[in-house]
């Protein structure tokens, strides 16, 4: 049996058993303006790829009957990281690695033009990953289900169904209820060719409604996140906030700015995550002379996140996730209507209760309020003082001046939270503050991390809430108001520094590009000069070679010219008979002997020819 981390706080009995994990659909009927498939009803969306979001998705995937899970991200780069990592999420606990796959990912479509650190960014395309994970799922009848419908009509469950594939392939009436026995993802290999770029509006219209949403983003980002997801949420949707243990007032801003109409407002559930998670070792070490802001800024600027690190987190076991009841934020709501809304949230709660690594506990509203007010009062001292004195958590009480400052802040916070919860006295909070500082002495609080990154801090939901609540109760809080102004000014300064750093880096990149182009031109000119020189020399060498080759060809042609078989010889004129001719014929090299009659005939013709010549050239006397 797991030991409770916070003894002395009474928890109500867990009213949902982890084994009773109904993974089919919400009991509420779909609206007529959209069609909800079985896959939409059973899919859990996790917004945020931080350490908490990775841990929640990995824990849900370790169940025997796991739900389908989709990550919601804001960057196209996260889609590329997801594909490069083959959709796997890794959690390392005490050196043991737990790798789960079968996740999907989608883009949260924000404005096409947005500004960050004084730089305007234009987004024209959105990357999508249509290739979703397929599951092999076994279902059986859930005959003990008593909340599948509300009009008490008779149900016809039919036969036990076993199938492989998407829930969209499983079609049955909305009155039927099945229980998932086993659900495992089929093998899948992702590649960059699976990514499809689409226009923003087209990609936005292709997204389906959200039934179950887990918001793991920082509290200061919740309102902006839900403004971008508002069109996908319905009154029967359930939103679980798992990062609400340190702030108060987020839900009020949410109702004011995102869901002002209570009839169209989704169901809210507040979760308090007490888990120790980190993604990489801390490169900033604690010392008496350390400057945390400057060191953390340098460390943050030099961090290069790879695709595997974007989906890996380290976890220290023995944490817990406390989930409160459904928030009562609808005026004039009857108990029956509230019970009906509470039943529609059981699917998401049962999924979290079945995830053992989360250590989920169901708490009542009073206990949830106690933890939130206590942590808000403690963080109103620790977080802004770390920024003001540029130190770790363990150094905010170093020296009498800092201790006196912490007491003034804590005294104002205790008077405000004690009005809502009388047990949170100044003495109780002072003792808890000392234990908290000792326990987290070497830690850097998240407000300082947000400040270094140049993003919005949660100061408005910590010290700002104390100032606003104190004004409502007539309790002045000048120290907390001064802290709010100080952190805001520090945020502006950091943003200005970030803008200057971005401008300086851009100038360095431009100068580096100009230097590289100049060097490239110089190298091209040198190569051209060498080529020209080599070309002239090559022409001379080539001409000489051609001349030599021509001479060799002429000699070869002369040597290979065909000679006549018999060389011409002047015939010998002999006046003595045939015996001399025969003797001359015998002396020939080829050994051939001419016929005597033919030789005599030739001699006679020669004599006749000479006589004719003499007669022709005879002088006239």
Q: What confidence category does residue 474 fall into, taking pLDDT thresholds of 50, 70 and 90?
A: very high
Q: Residue 163 sits in a domain of what CATH number?
A: 3.40.50.720
CA distance between the termini of the chain: 163
Within-domain flag for 417:
no
Strands (E), 253-378: 267-278, 312-326, 360-362
**Cα(181)–Cα(218) distance, integer angstroms:** 34
pLDDT above 70 as % of the chain: 71
**Cα(369)–Cα(372) distance, integer angstroms:** 5
Within-domain flag for 388:
no
**Cα(226)–Cα(217) distance, integer angstroms:** 11
CB 270 within 8 A of CB 368: yes
- Overall average pLDDT of the 351-373 stretch: 90
For residue 208, what are the contacts with CB-CB under 8 A and spacing of at least 6? 36, 37, 40, 232
pLDDT of 579 over the 80 cut: no
* Lowest mean pLDDT across 208-222, 276-290, 388-402, 450-464: 276-290
Within-domain flag for 515:
no
Cα radius of gyration rounded to whole Å, the chain: 47
CB 239 within 8 A of CB 233: yes
Instruction: Name residue 312's beta-bridge partners.
Output: 90
User: What is the DSSP code (8-state) at residue 5?
Assistant: S
Q: What 3-state class would DSSP assign to 597?
A: helix
Q: What is the mean pLDDT of the chain?
A: 75
CB 449 within 8 A of CB 232: no
**Cα(171)–Cα(35) distance, integer angstroms:** 13
Range of the domain at 44: 38-148+155-281+312-333+342-363
Within-domain flag for 265:
yes
- Overall average pLDDT of the 421-442 stretch: 91
Burial pattern 553-568, b for ≥16 Cβ within 10 A else e, equals: eeeeeeeeeeeeeeee
User: What is the DSSP code (8-state) at residue 50?
Assistant: S
User: What pLDDT was estimated at residue 45?
Assistant: 94
CB 459 within 8 A of CB 494: no
Instruction: Name residue 92's beta-bridge partners.
Output: 97, 314
CB 62 within 8 A of CB 355: yes
pLDDT of 310 over the 70 cut: yes
Q: What confidence category does residue 440 fall into, taking pLDDT thresholds of 50, 70 and 90?
A: confident
H helix runs in 308-445, sequence order: 335-344, 346-354, 365-389, 400-420, 426-439
Q: What confidence category does residue 563 fall into, taking pLDDT thresholds of 50, 70 and 90?
A: low
Rounded (5°) CA angle 450-456-459: 85
User: What pLDDT was estimated at residue 46?
Assistant: 94
pLDDT of 78 over the 50 cut: yes
- Overall average pLDDT of the 129-151 stretch: 64
Residue count (the chain): 621
**Cα(147)–Cα(524) distance, integer angstroms:** 78
- Overall average pLDDT of the 293-305 stretch: 58
Closest C-alpha among 102, 17, 104, 16 to residue 61? 102
Q: How many whole angstroms from its chain centre is CA 422?
A: 46
User: What pLDDT was estimated at residue 146?
Assistant: 39
User: What pLDDT was estimated at residue 28?
Assistant: 34
User: What pLDDT was estimated at residue 616?
Assistant: 59
pLDDT of 296 over the 80 cut: no
What are the phi and psi torsion angles at 254 (to 5°)?
-65, -45
Within-domain flag for 441:
no
Strands (E), 1-67: 43-47
For residue 97, what are the contacts with CB-CB under 8 A and spacing of at least 6? 90, 91
Q: What confidence category does residue 240 fall into, taking pLDDT thresholds of 50, 70 and 90?
A: very high
User: What pLDDT was estimated at residue 38?
Assistant: 63
pLDDT of 115 over the 90 cut: no
Q: How many CA atoms lie within 13 A of 523 on its CB side?
A: 6
Within-domain flag for 273:
yes
In terms of average pLDDT, the best of 121-135, 170-184, 513-527, 581-595 is 513-527
Q: What confidence category does residue 596 fall into, taking pLDDT thresholds of 50, 70 and 90?
A: low
pLDDT of 272 over the 60 cut: yes
User: What pLDDT was estimated at residue 561?
Assistant: 63
* Lowest mean pLDDT across 72-86, 351-365, 463-477, 490-504: 490-504
CB 487 within 8 A of CB 443: no
Q: What confidence category does residue 435 fall into, taking pLDDT thresholds of 50, 70 and 90?
A: very high
**Cα(514)–Cα(522) distance, integer angstroms:** 12
User: What pLDDT was estimated at residue 159?
Assistant: 34
What are the phi and psi torsion angles at 552 (to 5°)?
-65, -40
**Cα(182)–Cα(352) distance, integer angstroms:** 16
Burial pattern 268-307, b for ≥16 Cβ within 10 A else e, equals: bbbbbbebebeeeeeebebeeebebbebbbeeeeeeeeeb
User: What pLDDT was estimated at residue 105?
Assistant: 92
pLDDT in tens, 546-558: 888 888 888 877 7
- The dihedral sign for the CA sequence 383, 384, 390, 394: negative
Question: Structural domain tally of the chain?
Answer: 1
**Cα(333)–Cα(307) distance, integer angstroms:** 48
Which CA distances in Å does 112 have to 115, 122, 126, 192, 379? Answer: 10, 6, 10, 24, 36
Q: What confidence category does residue 4 fall into, taking pLDDT thresholds of 50, 70 and 90?
A: very low
> Beta strand 125-128 with 210-215: parallel, antiparallel or unpaired?
unpaired
User: What pLDDT was estimated at residue 306?
Assistant: 58
Q: How many CA atoms lie within 13 A of 252 on its CB side?
A: 8
pLDDT in tens, 81-101: 899 888 899 999 988 899 999
User: What pLDDT was estimated at residue 61?
Assistant: 92
pLDDT of 9 over the 50 cut: no
pLDDT of 57 over the 50 cut: yes
pLDDT of 520 over the 70 cut: yes
Within-domain flag for 20:
no
- Overall average pLDDT of the 524-535 stretch: 76
Q: What confidence category does residue 414 fall into, taking pLDDT thresholds of 50, 70 and 90?
A: very high
CB 439 within 8 A of CB 207: no
Which CA distances in Å does 291 have to 285, 295, 388, 481, 597? Answer: 10, 6, 11, 25, 133
Within-domain flag for 119:
yes
């Amino acid at each position: 049996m797991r030991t409770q981390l916070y003894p002395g706080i009474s928890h109500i009995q867990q009213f949902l058993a982890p084994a009773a994990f109904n993974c089919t659909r919400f009991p509420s009927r779909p609206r007529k303006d959209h069609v909800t498939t079985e896959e939409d009803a059973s899919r859990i969306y996790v917004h945020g790829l931080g350490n908490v979001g990775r841990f929640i998705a990995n824990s849900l995937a370790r169940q025997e009957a796991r739900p389908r899970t989709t990550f919601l991200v804001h960057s196209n780069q996260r889609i590329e990281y997801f594909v490069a990592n083959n959709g796997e999420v890794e959690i390392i606990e005490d050196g043991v690695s737990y790798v789960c796959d079968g996740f999907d990912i989608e883009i949260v479509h924000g404005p096409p033009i947005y500004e960050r650190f004084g730089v305007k960014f234009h987004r024209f395309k959105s990357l999508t990953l249509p290739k979703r994970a397929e599951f092999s799922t076994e279902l059986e009848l859930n005959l003990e289900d008593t909340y599948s419908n509300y009009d008490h009509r008779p149900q016809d469950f039919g036969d036990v169904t076993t199938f492989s594939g998407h829930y969209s392939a499983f079609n049955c009436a909305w009155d039927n209820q099945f229980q998932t026995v086993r659900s495992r993802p089929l093998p899948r290999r992702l590649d960059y060719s699976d990514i499809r770029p689409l226009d923003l509006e087209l990609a936005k219209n292709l997204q389906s409604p959200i039934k179950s949403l887990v918001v793991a983003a920082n509290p200061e980002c919740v309102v902006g996140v839900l403004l971008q997801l508002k069109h996908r949420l319905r009154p029967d949707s359930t939103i679980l906030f798992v990062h609400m243990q340190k702030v108060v007032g987020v839900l009020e801003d949410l109702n004011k700015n995102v869901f002002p109409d209570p009839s169209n407002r989704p169901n809210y559930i507040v979760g308090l995550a007490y888990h120790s998670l980190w993604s990489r070792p801390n490169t900033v070490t604690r010392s008496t002379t350390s400057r945390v802001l400057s060191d953390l800024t340098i460390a943050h600027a030099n961090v290069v996140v790879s695709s595997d690190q974007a989906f890996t987190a380290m976890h220290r076991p023995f944490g817990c996730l406390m989930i409160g009841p459904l928030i009562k934020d609808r005026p004039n709501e009857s108990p029956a209507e509230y019970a009906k809304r509470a039943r529609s949230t059981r699917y998401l709660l049962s999924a979290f209760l079945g995830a053992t690594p989360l250590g989920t506990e169901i708490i009542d509203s009073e206990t949830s309020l106690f933890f939130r007010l206590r942590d808000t009062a403690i963080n109103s001292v620790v977080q802004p003082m770390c920024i003001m004195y540029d130190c770790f958590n363990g150094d905010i009480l170093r020296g009498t001046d800092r201790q006196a400052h912490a007491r003034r802040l804590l005294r104002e916070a205790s008077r405000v939270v004690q009005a809502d919860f009388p047990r949170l006295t100044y003495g109780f909070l002072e003792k808890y503050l000392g234990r908290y500082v000792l326990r987290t002495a070497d830690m850097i609080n998240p407000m300082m991390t947000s400040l270094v990154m140049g993003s919005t801090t949660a100061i408005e939901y910590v010290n700002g809430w104390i100032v606003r609540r104190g004004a409502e109760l007539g309790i002045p809080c000048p120290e907390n108001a001064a802290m709010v102004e100080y952190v805001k000014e520090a945020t502006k300064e950091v943003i200005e520094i970030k803008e200057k750093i971005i401008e300086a880096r851009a100038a360095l990149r431009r100068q580096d590009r100009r230097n590289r182009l100049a060097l490239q031109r110089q190298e091209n000119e040198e190569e051209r000069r060498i080529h020209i020189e080599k070309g002239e020399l090559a022409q001379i060498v080539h001409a000489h070679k051609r001349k030599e080759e021509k001479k060799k060809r002429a000699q070869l042609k002369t040597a290979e010219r065909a000679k006549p078989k018999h060389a011409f010889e002047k015939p010998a004129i002999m006046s003595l008979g045939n015996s001399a001719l025969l003797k001359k014929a015998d002396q020939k090299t080829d050994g051939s002997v001419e016929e005597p009659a033919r030789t005599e005939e030739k001699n006679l013709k020669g004599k006749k020819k000479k006589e004719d010549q003499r007669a022709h050239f005879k002088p006239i006397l």
